[in-house]
């Protein structure tokens, strides 16, 4: 207090006036600038909090769409794989080509391929094409060919396999095989084409 008594009265009034103006300035700055900024910040934080669930939902939707896109491509690849094992185009030419290619991988001789025509399939939807084969080879080679045929053409149905006697010296047997290959349906073609465009 002695310090304040030593200051001249005019100087003390000036200091008080400067102090009052400083306080008024600080209050004005707070009121008109910092307060507005704080209000805007609070509004922005509230908006961010309101948008957070929408952002999470959008991210989930994006992930699901990416997953669906991947599944769609897998489905198209699966359908196209199934299509390659089904009869299309000229049925008899398809059967001759596929059975010849299959027989080349086994020590057998396919001596006769006959296309018996279109048949309906009881266990599967759609029509099939019946093919009759006459195969010469040993017992194991014929069995290997039939197993490979069933693996290569999962939609095919082996209707009959008859293995007869053959040459005793060479152990060659003659087998008659009837197989029904599923016919590729045009509706599935349209499904693949529509999926491929999207």
Residue range 45-59, pLDDT digits in tens: 888 788 888 888 888
Report the pLDDT averaged over residues 93-120. Answer: 83
Residue 123 φ/ψ, nearest 5 degrees: -85, -15
Quote the pTM value: 0.51
Closest CA to 113 of 123, 128, 124, 103: 103
Report the pLDDT averaged over residues 12-19. Answer: 78
Q: Which CATH number fits domain 91-188: 3.30.70.60, 3.90.1150.10, 2.20.28.270, 3.40.50.620?
A: 3.30.70.60
pLDDT bracket for residue 15 (50, 70, 90): confident
pLDDT at 67 over 70: yes
Question: Which of 5 and 196 is assigned the larger pLDDT?
Answer: 5
The overall average pLDDT reported for the chain is: 77
pLDDT at 187 over 60: no
Of 21-30, 89-98, 131-140, 151-160, which has the strongest mean pLDDT? 131-140
pLDDT bracket for residue 2 (50, 70, 90): low
Report the pLDDT averaged over residues 118-138. Answer: 78
Q: Which residues of 122-142 are buried (b: 16+ CB within 10 A; e: fewer)?
A: eeeeeebbbbbbebbbeeebb
Report the pLDDT averaged over residues 103-107. Answer: 89
Element (H or E) spanning 180, and its range? strand 172-182
Write the CB contacts of 80 (distance below 8 Å, at least 6 apart in sequence): 192
Q: How far apart are CA 30 and CA 38, in angstroms?
A: 10
Percentage of residues of the chain with pLDDT beyond 90: 1
- Chain Cα centroid distance, residue 22: 69
């Amino acid at each position: 207090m002695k310090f304040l008594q030593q200051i001249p009265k005019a100087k003390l009034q000036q200091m008080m006036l400067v102090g009052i103006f400083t306080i008024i300035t600080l209050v004005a700055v707070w009121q008109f600038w910092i307060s507005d900024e704080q209000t805007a910040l609070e509004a922005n934080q509230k908006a961010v909090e309101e948008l957070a669930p929408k952002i999470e939902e959008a991210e989930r939707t994006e992930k699901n769409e990416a997953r669906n896109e991947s599944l769609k491509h897998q489905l198209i690849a699966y359908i196209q794989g199934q299509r390659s094992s089904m009869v299309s185009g000229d049925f008899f030419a398809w059967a001759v080509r596929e059975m010849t290619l299959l027989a080349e991988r086994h020590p057998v001789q396919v001596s006769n391929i006959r296309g018996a025509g279109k048949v309906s399939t009881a266990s599967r939807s759609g029509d099939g094409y019946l093919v009759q084969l006459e195969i010469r080879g040993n017992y194991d080679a014929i069995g290997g060919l039939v197993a490979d045929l069933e693996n290569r053409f999962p939609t095919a149905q082996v209707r009959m396999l008859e293995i007869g006697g053959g040459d005793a010296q060479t152990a060659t047997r003659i087998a008659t095989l009837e197989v029904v290959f599923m016919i590729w349906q045009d509706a599935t073609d349209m499904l693949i084409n529509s999926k491929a465009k999207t």
